[in-house]
Structure 1
C-alpha cells in the first residue's frame, strides 16, 4: 500500500521525538523529567496530527461517496485511503455495470416469457375453439394437452385401470390405454410403433357423444424437432358423420337421377326400335310417337326441376327479398292454378286473412313454392272435390295452409315427403311427377325464408301443408331501431 509524503514525514518526526528525551539528557540540555515531558508532549501532538489527518481523509472519502461525481483528479495521491477508495469505486462500477446488464437481461427474459405465455394462451384459445378434438402426447406417451372437443374421448381418472397395451411395445407408460378410449389408444400405439415407417396413421370409428352415435376420423402424427428427435404425438379427431350423410345423400341422389332418367329413356329406345323395324302400321306409329313425346316431356320436366333446384341451392339464382303483402302473393298464385282446378271440376277457394300480413320475402320464389303446393293439391284431388288456400296471423308469424280433400298420403310416406325424387308409391299412377317439387318448396321455405313447413294427411280424406314464415317488413324494423334512442 502506497504511503504518501505527509505520513512519511510524520513517521520520521515520531522516531525523532521518541529519541528526543535521550538526546536532551545526554546533551545536558534538560533534566530527565523535563526531557520525558517534552518527548511525551511531542508524541501526543504527532499522534493527534496523525488522527486528525486520517479523520480528514475519511470525511473526504465520505463526501466523495455522497457526491454523484466520484472522479476527483489527484484524489488517490492526496488521500490516505485513495488507492483503496479508487479500487472500491472500480469494483462498484464493474458491479453496477454487471447489475445493469443483469437487469436488462432479466427484463428481456421477462418480456420474452410474457410473449411466450401470451402465445401459449392464444394457441390454447384457438385449439379450444376448434370443433375437432386435439390430444397431444409427449415423448413419454403421457397426455400433455387436450382441448374441449376432445373431452368425450378421455376416460375419467376414476374409471382408469392399470392395464397395459396388447402390443409388443415397451412404452413404459400405461396412460395411453388409461387416458383415452381404446380406439385412440390403439391408433396411438401403432403410430408410435411404426414411427420409422410413417409419420401419420388414421382410423375411422363409431362413438356415442352426448347420447348421439356418430362416425369419427382420427389422425395420429409423430412430432419431431430439427434433429429428427421424437417430441411426441398429436391426435386429431374429426366428426365425419355429417360428411358421410352428405355422401350417402349424394349417392342416393345420383342413383335416383339415374333411375328417373333410365325409365323414360328405356321406353323411348323401345318405341324407336319398333318404329325402325317397321312392325307398326300408321295408326300404331302415331301412337308410338305420342308415347315418345310424353316420355320426352317427362325427361324435360325432370331436367328442368333438377336444374331449378340446383341453381337455387348453389346460389346461381339471386335471392331478391323485398317488403311485400303476403296476400298479394297468394292471390297471384291462386290465379295461376284456378284454371286447372276449374278444368277438373274442383272447388277451388281462398280464405285469406283480412289483416295486412307484412313479409320480407323473395316474391317470385315464394310464389313458385305456393304454386307447387296448389298444383300438387289439384293434381292429386279427384273431380268434384275441394282445394282451399288460407292465410292467417299467428303470434309473430304468417301462416299459409294449402288443404285438399284428395287421395291423401299414407303415414309411412310422410317422413319422406320432402326427400328428392320421392313419390308416394300409392299415388304414382294418379299423376306424372318428378319427386322434386316438394323438395324445392322445402328449400325455399326453410333455407331462403327462414320458415318452416309441415304436413298432415289421411288416406282418402285429404292433405294439409302448413307454411310458417316470419312477419314484418325490413324497412319498418330499421325505422323502429332508429327511433328507439329518441323515444328513450
Structure 2
C-alpha cells in the first residue's frame, strides 16, 4: 500500500474538490462558474501531478533495466511499478539461474562426451595395435567392430554377397556368413545357439593364402547385461602357427630321441641275451662286450648332447659374454683337435688373421662350437688329407672358416645339415655321431652370439663351414660413448 499512497492522496483530493465545489454552489458562497473553474484547475493540477509521477516511475524503471546495479531496495515501496518490476526481476533471476544450471549441465555433458570419445579412440587404437584379432558382433550377428589384426578374417566389401531374403533369421545368418570367413561365422552361430549351455566356445583352423599358411585359435564369448539378455559376442583370434610348429618340432624331437635310444638299446639287449644263453665262446663274448661298451658310449654321447642343447636353449646354462680376442679362442680349439688330427695322419693347418679381432662372446660356448666343427672335419676326413682353420676380418664381422678335404655332403642333405638328429645317410658308416653337434653349433652361433653359419660342400672334395660373428668390444663402445664431445 505504501507504493500507492500518493495516488490515493490524489484521489481523495479530487473527491474533496468535487465535494467543495458542490458546497460552494449550494451555500451560495461562490458563483457556479467560479466553483467550476476552481474544480477544473484543481483537477488539471492533480492529473498533471499524476502524469509526472507516472513518468518519473517509468524513467526510474527504465534506468534500472539499463543498469541493474542502480536497483535499490526502496524502489518497491516508492514506485508505482515496484511490485511488478520486482516480480519481473525475480522471474528473470530465476530464469538466469536455470540458464546457468542448464549451461553447466551442457558443459559437463560435453566434457563427458569428449572424454568418452577420447577413451573410445584410445581403446580402438589399443585394439588396433594388438597382434590378436578381435571381432565384436551384436545380438543380431552384425559385425560392429574389428581391429587391424582381424582384417584377415573379414571378407572385403567387394567380395561380399547381397542377401535379399525377408526372413529375419536368414538375414542374420547371411550377415555373419557374408562378412567374415566361414570358420568364424560357424563358430559365432554355434556360440549363440548354445548360449544357455556354455558361455564360450573355441575352435582351431588353418588358413592358406598366396604368401602365408598358418594355424589360428578362435575363442568366442557371449556378452550379457545385468538382466542376462544377450548383448552380443566377442571373438578373439590368435595366431598359433609358431606354437603348432613348436609342437611338431617337439614331436619330431621326441620321435628322433626315441629312435636314437631304441637302436643301441635293442643292440645291447640282443647281446646280453646271447651272453645269458651261454652259447658264446670266450672270444665271441669278448667281442659282444666290446659291442655293448660301444653302444653304451653312444647312449652316453647322445644323452650328454641332448642335455647340453636343452640346458643352453632353456637358459639353465648361464651365458657369460666378455670382451675377447677371437684368435685366442681359435688357438685353444686348435690345440684340442690337433692330437686327433695327428692320430689320423691329417695335416691340420691354422691360418689365423694377423689383425686383432675384438669380439664380445661367451668364450667357452663359442670355443665348444669351433671344437665341434673341427672335430667333425677330422672325423669325416680320410687319412692323409687336410683340415684348415682360418680367420679374417670382413666389414664389421669376424669370419671363421673350417675347411676339409673329406667326404663332402650331398646337395640334397645341405638344407637339413643343422637339423636335430639329422645325419647324412651316405656318411653314417664312416663315424659315430648323434646328429646334435651341428644343431648345437647353429644355436650357439645364431641365438647366443647373433651371428650366422653357412656350409658349402662337394662330394669327395670337401666341406667348408663359414661362421660370422659381429666385431667389437662392449666396454670400448661404452668408453667411446662417454668420451664423445658435447656440443653446446
For normalisation by structure 1, the TM-score amounts to 0.92
Deviation at 1:64, TM superposition (A): 5.4
Matches within 5 A, 1:427-438: 427-438=427-438
Taking the aligned partners of 1:104 and 1:244, their CA distance within structure 2 comes to: 58
Report whether the alignment pairs 1:475 with 2:475: yes
Deviation at 1:9, TM superposition (A): 1.5
Taking the aligned partners of 1:37 and 1:344, their CA distance within structure 2 comes to: 161
Deviation at 1:24, TM superposition (A): 5.0
Q: Deviations over 1:79-106 (max 9, x none)?
A: 3223223322332333233333323333
Matches within 5 A, 1:376-455: 376-455=376-455
Taking the aligned partners of 1:102 and 1:201, their CA distance within structure 2 comes to: 49
Deviation at 1:184, TM superposition (A): 1.8
Number of the residue aligned with 1:92: 92
Taking the aligned partners of 1:164 and 1:256, their CA distance within structure 2 comes to: 57
Q: Residue 403 of structure 1: SS of its match in structure 2?
A: strand
Number of the residue aligned with 1:220: 220
Q: Residue 479 of structure 1: SS of its match in structure 2?
A: helix
Moved more, 250-259 or 5-14: 5-14
Relative distance call for 1:164 and 1:200 in structure 2 (3 A) is farther
Taking the aligned partners of 2:426 and 2:70, their CA distance within structure 1 comes to: 109
Relative distance call for 1:468 and 1:291 in structure 2 (3 A) is same
Matches within 5 A, 1:10-29: 10-17=10-17, 28=28
Conservation of the 8 A alpha-carbon contact between 1:137 and 1:145: yes
Deviation at 1:133, TM superposition (A): 1.2
Number of the residue aligned with 1:45: 45
Report whether the alignment pairs 1:244 with 2:244: yes
Deviation at 1:172, TM superposition (A): 4.1
Matches within 5 A, 1:24-423: 28=28, 34-61=34-61, 66-68=67-69, 72=73, 75-163=75-163, 169-172=169-172, 174-209=174-209, 211-423=211-423
Conservation of the 8 A alpha-carbon contact between 1:405 and 1:463: yes
Taking the aligned partners of 2:164 and 2:385, their CA distance within structure 1 comes to: 74
Q: Deviations over 1:359-391 (max 9, x none)?
A: 111111111111111110111111111111111
Conservation of the 8 A alpha-carbon contact between 1:389 and 1:403: yes
Q: Deviations over 1:3-22 (max 9, x none)?
A: 63222112222344466666
Taking the aligned partners of 2:254 and 2:28, their CA distance within structure 1 comes to: 145
Taking the aligned partners of 2:211 and 2:40, their CA distance within structure 1 comes to: 110
Conservation of the 8 A alpha-carbon contact between 1:141 and 1:171: no
Listed as ranges, the gaps of 5+ residues in structure 2 are none
Taking the aligned partners of 1:365 and 1:34, their CA distance within structure 2 comes to: 141
Deviation at 1:54, TM superposition (A): 3.0
Moved more, 427-436 or 88-97: 88-97
Relative distance call for 1:3 and 1:69 in structure 2 (3 A) is closer
Moved more, 142-151 or 156-165: 156-165
Moved more, 396-405 or 9-18: 9-18
Q: Residue 345 of structure 2: SS of its match in structure 1?
A: coil
Q: Residue 222 of structure 1: SS of its match in structure 2?
A: strand
Moved more, 193-202 or 243-252: 193-202
Taking the aligned partners of 2:156 and 2:33, their CA distance within structure 1 comes to: 105
Taking the aligned partners of 2:447 and 2:72, their CA distance within structure 1 comes to: 85
- Count of residue correspondences: 486
Taking the aligned partners of 1:432 and 1:177, their CA distance within structure 2 comes to: 58
Conservation of the 8 A alpha-carbon contact between 2:142 and 2:172: no
Deviation at 1:287, TM superposition (A): 2.2
Number of the residue aligned with 1:465: 465
Conservation of the 8 A alpha-carbon contact between 2:137 and 2:144: yes
Q: Residue 356 of structure 1: SS of its match in structure 2?
A: coil
Q: Deviations over 1:152-210 (max 9, x none)?
A: 22222222111489x99444463212211222222222323333333323332222356
Taking the aligned partners of 2:71 and 2:453, their CA distance within structure 1 comes to: 92
Relative distance call for 1:88 and 1:249 in structure 2 (3 A) is same
* RMSD of aligned residue pairs (Cα, Å): 2.6
Conservation of the 8 A alpha-carbon contact between 1:380 and 1:430: yes
For normalisation by structure 2, the TM-score amounts to 0.92
Relative distance call for 1:113 and 1:2 in structure 2 (3 A) is farther
